[in-house]
Structure 1
């Protein structure tokens, strides 16, 4: 014999009930079955709403009852043949008259007790099971209706009654022996106490009813039919990639359901677990799907290769209560007293953690129980609180519990480190931790606002190890930004296949528009994204990134804005990685530079800015490798401006200096304002950054800047600048001829030596490493303790949108 239970969504309407009928017909051909059904979807809540309205003297209860009645009358008309409808329509009307009478009494008395609540809510399952029985009879099936309330005996703890299993088992066995029909239909949720008062088994109690029946009759299998294809690795409403769990042990299922896996009512498991009866969760709307098997008899092919965890569950609306004080230390029975007072208040303790010093104990409870729990604790420990042996109870709200569950965790080392590491890397603070000695469950308490992010991070780490989702927020869509975006789209398949990462452009912003897409902006859409975006501001863009709170987030600054770096601190403190092409932050005041790096370290995230110097050349990375390996940089000589190198490589007298600078700007080698390059400001920033990365505490004002530009060139706007260049053409020709006359060429050189830095135009002889440097190339020559005689040289293209974008891209990959 098998027991099948169908939930509220499975019997929500006539169309769904016909699907249920097909499942019952198919199963009853092979087995005798007991079918337990819930109330029609939403009916129990509506019955409670009607009674509560009546208790508040709100006459609206009458209309609520009429609406529920119409729903049942329509169901009879759709499911039962016309010739049989009259009696069943009368049946429905009679019982809704009873419901109305009860609510009338509530309205007069203004009282809605738990006992009355059980009475009125029992009608939902009673009516649905009778109508379904009538439908099956009309189809000629061998079916009989069993009143669960007459056979399941409980105590008088209304709304959450405890079952008397011995009496219940005896009643059920007797009933099923006396009624040998192939199909037995029974209402879930409802029972009676020893005085024959209506009781219920708690919300979700229809699952429990089915389990009680299966246990009592030693059924071959219990099937819970619902609207999902089994238990899932996580809540699919939070994790789009959640997967059905093919099979799971009873203890694992118990842990998942206790901590919020909604597909199974927690008490359901115990009765069938004791009798070693398999439990299978199936989908009414996809009956061929295998579902989830819960059993003691699972076959493990290779335990070493089995997944570490089977699922992640979560529970919201949690409060933490902490009791601490010196009066707790070494006092026997203190914890017992605490839990007893909470038990007396009917407060369910979900999680417990206690310091090893016994100085404090923290419990997690439902927020709705918070006030009652505090009152009970204050009363029970009144004397200790007055004498200051205990501190007043601390209450924290707005919390959630996340539980990682799996029996294999006990045989694997490093599970906790893996769990806490991936959460920490995503800026998720853990408020409390609990792990049982069985090591089947690691439970943590976090902020409610982090729940979606935390569950996705854990799911990715433990169930989607093939591909890691990275969410990119790109600020700046100019030449470099456009090249970067295209490189991301072009290279993403390679990254997924070879590095197991998937880059999603989750946000774009320029100075005018911004747009967000948590699942990524499709390649076909990004060219015209700014036509659909909202008005942008750096602060709004940052605020939105933080509020979306997506895992593995990277903020990419490919602007020259002085405003954008002001947001770095906020982002780093939320453990959002930053990749900056923008040089302003790294060349700002030394304390700010050091603070940003420190914040990144303390919040387990990355602050990378390789392209600040040399575009895509591995210059900063080389410094970092040298320092980490114990070397010390003693001097740096470099040509760091692709712009200036391009300008002086191309300025030979055939074109004016102004024309060569304009060509450099047109080809994308200069900043939007070329004066930043030609004034040496940009080069000074670069040597400052290199010196800082080498471990020296320099400020920008410490750098000596020998400018070759007449002072007038720095005044006015960019147009004025070009006019000044034309005006001073003779000045620039004179500089060029002086170098040529000595057989040398012009290079704008940055130098760092003995803790001091300077930048300026120099005459370079043919024997110098800087002489043979063409186009937009950069070169950096490092002398270190290890490279003292033969310096270390990094040389290559140091400007251009393509190479700069590739350097940013490399930093993005490094950040994850």
Structure 2
């Protein structure tokens, strides 16, 4: 025999019930079948809502009842033909009794547990009777009232089963039952006085397991609206997938920690009789689902990650507890007598504190009870006042083989740490089947996704990007990400999503990932932005592996990096202002990066896409020491002086450089030398030297008039006016058989920048176009320097450098 249980969503309406009967028909061809059903859809909730409403307004209670009746009579009309009159009369009679109970509640102004059990029982009494009669239309089927077979104690709303007597009743009935299909209501039962009791919310699963164990069924099937137990809650973790096989113990751990597909007590009766449990999807019966059994074939170390929301931590703490027996007993006894369920326990080995997790709904009652229970110790300062922390969640990593998995705890907590998830308490059982941690509810979704990625998506990592600045460089960054998305997923197992974008006026977010084909239109229709509101949106989304990208040259944007790093959000930037700001600010950003496990990468600050900073870091980290740096670090200035000659004007060449994207929006930043000074300062700092921007000696070649202009129009006018000055500089170098290069130098702790005449034999002489070149003289390269040379300006190469930094973060 097989036992099949169908939940409320499976029997929510006529069409769903037809699907249920089809599944039952297929199964009953080979085996006798006991079918356990829940109430239709949300019927139980509505019944209880009506009962509570009856305390204050009988008219509104009856309106709720009418809605329940309408659903049930529609199912009768749709599915039952041969004896519809008899079924209708029986159902009318049940609703008449229910109406009388509501009226009694209203008149007596009392709603006891006994009455609540009676009211809630009508859902399964109605559904099982109607479905049984629908089954009779096509199958050899009968109906049996579970109240006649499952015997319990006198607790009305969460009754304890008398298994010996229940097993005898079930065995006796089915021994004489000749029908191929028997339909029974789940959840409902009775005590020795024939009073209605119920098995608690989720009790239909438990009922099915009770029948399966009593009948020594070959299999217990739990039919629901999902295709098995998942590696995580699929509504929270989109990448979650069904677990093919799992042990009884693993299933109990997962169901205890919030895997709602299975009611935890269900497993015990099946485990006792070694009856396999199959979790199946009513609406996709062809899916394999999950098999719960004694020896699952799948031996993966971690089987699933689950969580419970709305948790409160209650902490009993104080020096007076050390070495004194009885504190734990009093704590748990007080909570037990108040019928407060404890879902999490941890105790310091010093006996200085005990911490328990309970549901938020019980928090206030628990606090009052424990303060009363320990009032003497609190008054005498032996223990501190009861500590209560709410709005928390428990996450649990579950697996039978975790005890053989070295470093799993470290893997779990380092993953949480990288994503700025603060752990408030930790518990691990001696069986090592799960590791549980209490975290803020706000972080639960991020934690679940991060852990799922760590344990179940090892070959694919998701990065969530937030991009500020979508001008020349930003636009190309987005284009490169869009172009390479498929390649990165297939070859690097990296899923890069752009979640937020902004310019100076608008911002747009899509937590599922922005469509980069039409991002311009989306941004144009986005909401108004500010640096603060953009950061607030990023923080509110609270996504794992988040990266903030700054493609601007804006000082205000550089001043918000610290906010992102403190939230464990990595920062990638081509904006040189932060790293060339006051040394204390530069150092603070580096320290925040380390403290909050968030990368701070700025490779494009020097040399655009060239690996200059990365190479320098590798030299320093490997123990080399930098003595001297000589470099041409401005692609824009190199472009200008490579193209400027006696047949051109300086103004026209600078305008051409700006048009082709080699200069900053304000070209004076490049030509004044401030941009180069920032770059050599950054290289000096990355070499381990403490310098300020004012320490860099700047030898400007621009006339004072050009340096003092306030806008581009005035700047270009000054260049035109001083053309003779620029021609004289060119003529002098040409006569000396030299070429003009804007050179940055750092020698033994001192730095300078300025225009130099470079002779033909020098490595800088043949530097063409907008190329950069850097010479590193170190302990290991004292005479023949380490040379890095290549394109050092332009939106495309700068974007590629930013993209490379993003990939560096992904590979960490």
Shorter-chain TM-score category? over 0.9
Structure 1: gaps spanning 5 or more residues:
301-305
Q: Please, what is the CA RMSD of the aligned residues?
A: 1.4
Task: Tell me how far apart the structure 1 counterparts of residues 277 and 167 of structure 2 sit (CA, whole Å).
Answer: 19
Aligned to 2:261: 263
Task: Tell me how far apart the structure 2 counterparts of residues 287 and 655 of structure 1 sit (CA, whole Å).
Answer: 78
Aligned to 2:486: 493
1:331 CA displacement: 1.6
Task: Tell me how far apart the structure 2 counterparts of residues 244 and 637 of structure 1 sit (CA, whole Å).
Answer: 59
Aligned to 1:31: 31
CA contact (8 A) 2:245 2:297 kept: no
Task: Tell me how far apart the structure 2 counterparts of residues 299 and 317 of structure 1 sit (CA, whole Å).
Answer: 35
- Aligned ranges for residues 774-793 of structure 1 at < 5 Å? 774-793=768-787
- Which deviates more from structure 2 when the two are superposed, residues 490-499 or residues 648-657? 490-499
Task: Tell me how far apart the structure 1 counterparts of residues 248 and 600 of structure 2 sit (CA, whole Å).
Answer: 46
1:295 CA displacement: 0.6
Q: Which of 801, 805, 812 is matched with 2:795 structurally? A: 801
1:522 CA displacement: 2.9
1:145 aligns with 2:138: no
CA contact (8 A) 2:312 2:391 kept: yes
1:335 CA displacement: 1.5
Q: Which of 221, 242, 246 is matched with 2:244 structurally? A: 246
1:590 aligns with 2:583: yes
1:299 CA displacement: 3.4
Task: Tell me how far apart the structure 1 counterparts of residues 123 and 412 of structure 2 sit (CA, whole Å).
Answer: 43
Aligned to 1:181: 179
Aligned to 2:666: 673
1:767 CA displacement: 2.7
Q: Deviations over 1:557-592 (max 9, x none)?
A: 111112212221111111111110111111111111
Q: Which of 207, 210, 233 is matched with 1:209 structurally? A: 207
CA contact (8 A) 1:8 1:42 kept: yes
1:622 aligns with 2:615: yes
Q: Deviations over 1:335-392 (max 9, x none)?
A: 2221111111111111111112111111111111111211221122121111101001
Task: Tell me how far apart the structure 2 counterparts of residues 421 and 169 of structure 1 sit (CA, whole Å).
Answer: 49
Q: Deviations over 1:688-712 (max 9, x none)?
A: 1111111111111221111111121
CA contact (8 A) 1:425 1:604 kept: yes
- Which deviates more from structure 2 when the two are superposed, residues 604-613 or residues 167-176? 167-176
Sort the Cα spacing of 1:332 and 1:78 in 2 relative to 1 into closer, same or farther, 3 A.
same
Task: Tell me how far apart the structure 2 counterparts of residues 349 and 765 of structure 1 sit (CA, whole Å).
Answer: 81
CA contact (8 A) 1:780 1:795 kept: yes
Task: Tell me how far apart the structure 2 counterparts of residues 298 and 775 of structure 1 sit (CA, whole Å).
Answer: 66
1:450 CA displacement: 1.1
Aligned to 2:720: 726
TM-score, normalised to structure 1's length?
0.97
Task: Tell me how far apart the structure 2 counterparts of residues 223 and 260 of structure 1 sit (CA, whole Å).
Answer: 20
SS at structure 1 position matched to 2:776? strand
Sort the Cα spacing of 1:161 and 1:779 in 2 relative to 1 into closer, same or farther, 3 A.
same
**How many residues are paired up?**
809
SS at structure 2 position matched to 1:751? strand
Task: Tell me how far apart the structure 1 counterparts of residues 86 and 113 of structure 2 sit (CA, whole Å).
Answer: 32
- Aligned ranges for residues 369-448 of structure 1 at < 5 Å? 369-448=362-441
CA contact (8 A) 1:704 1:758 kept: yes
- Which deviates more from structure 2 when the two are superposed, residues 283-292 or residues 265-274? 283-292
Task: Tell me how far apart the structure 1 counterparts of residues 660 and 148 of structure 2 sit (CA, whole Å).
Answer: 88
Aligned to 1:194: 192
CA contact (8 A) 2:469 2:550 kept: yes
Aligned to 2:108: 109
Task: Tell me how far apart the structure 2 counterparts of residues 123 and 151 of structure 1 sit (CA, whole Å).
Answer: 17
Task: Tell me how far apart the structure 2 counterparts of residues 397 and 731 of structure 1 sit (CA, whole Å).
Answer: 72
1:612 CA displacement: 0.2
Q: Which of 742, 760, 764 is matched with 1:766 structurally? A: 760
Task: Tell me how far apart the structure 1 counterparts of residues 452 and 729 of structure 2 sit (CA, whole Å).
Answer: 64
Aligned to 1:303: none
CA contact (8 A) 1:308 1:462 kept: no
SS at structure 1 position matched to 2:560? helix
Q: Deviations over 1:411-441 (max 9, x none)?
A: 1111111111222111211111111111111
Q: Deviations over 1:644-679 (max 9, x none)?
A: 111111111211111111111111110000000001
1:527 CA displacement: 4.8
SS at structure 2 position matched to 1:299? coil
1:640 CA displacement: 0.8
Task: Tell me how far apart the structure 1 counterparts of residues 365 and 272 of structure 2 sit (CA, whole Å).
Answer: 34
SS at structure 1 position matched to 2:756? strand
Task: Tell me how far apart the structure 2 counterparts of residues 364 and 124 of structure 1 sit (CA, whole Å).
Answer: 33
Task: Tell me how far apart the structure 2 counterparts of residues 521 and 354 of structure 1 sit (CA, whole Å).
Answer: 46
Task: Tell me how far apart the structure 2 counterparts of residues 753 and 738 of structure 1 sit (CA, whole Å).
Answer: 27
- Aligned ranges for residues 142-541 of structure 1 at < 5 Å? 142-299=140-297, 306-541=299-534
Q: Deviations over 1:210-263 (max 9, x none)?
A: 111111121111111111111111111111121111111000000000000010
Task: Tell me how far apart the structure 1 counterparts of residues 786 and 283 of structure 2 sit (CA, whole Å).
Answer: 68
Q: Which of 639, 657, 660 is matched with 1:664 structurally? A: 657
- Aligned ranges for residues 52-131 of structure 1 at < 5 Å? 52-57=52-57, 59-81=59-81, 84-131=83-130
Q: Deviations over 1:39-86 (max 9, x none)?
A: 0000000010001111234531011111111211111111111x5222
- Which deviates more from structure 2 when the two are superposed, residues 85-94 or residues 265-274? 85-94
CA contact (8 A) 1:57 1:110 kept: no
CA contact (8 A) 2:257 2:394 kept: yes
Task: Tell me how far apart the structure 2 counterparts of residues 110 and 569 of structure 1 sit (CA, whole Å).
Answer: 60
CA contact (8 A) 1:746 1:764 kept: yes
TM-score, normalised to structure 2's length?
0.98
Aligned to 1:543: 536
Aligned to 2:131: 132
SS at structure 2 position matched to 1:579? strand
Q: Deviations over 1:245-297 (max 9, x none)?
A: 11110000000000000100011001110111111111111122221111113
- Which deviates more from structure 2 when the two are superposed, residues 567-576 or residues 721-730? 567-576
SS at structure 2 position matched to 1:241? coil
4+ aligned runs moved over 6 Å, structure 1? none
Task: Tell me how far apart the structure 1 counterparts of residues 727 and 133 of structure 2 sit (CA, whole Å).
Answer: 104
CA contact (8 A) 1:323 1:390 kept: yes
1:814 aligns with 2:808: yes
Structure 2: gaps spanning 5 or more residues:
none
Task: Tell me how far apart the structure 2 counterparts of residues 497 and 74 of structure 1 sit (CA, whole Å).
Answer: 52
1:741 CA displacement: 2.8
CA contact (8 A) 2:58 2:102 kept: no
SS at structure 1 position matched to 2:623? coil
SS at structure 1 position matched to 2:783? coil
Task: Tell me how far apart the structure 1 counterparts of residues 616 and 603 of structure 2 sit (CA, whole Å).
Answer: 10
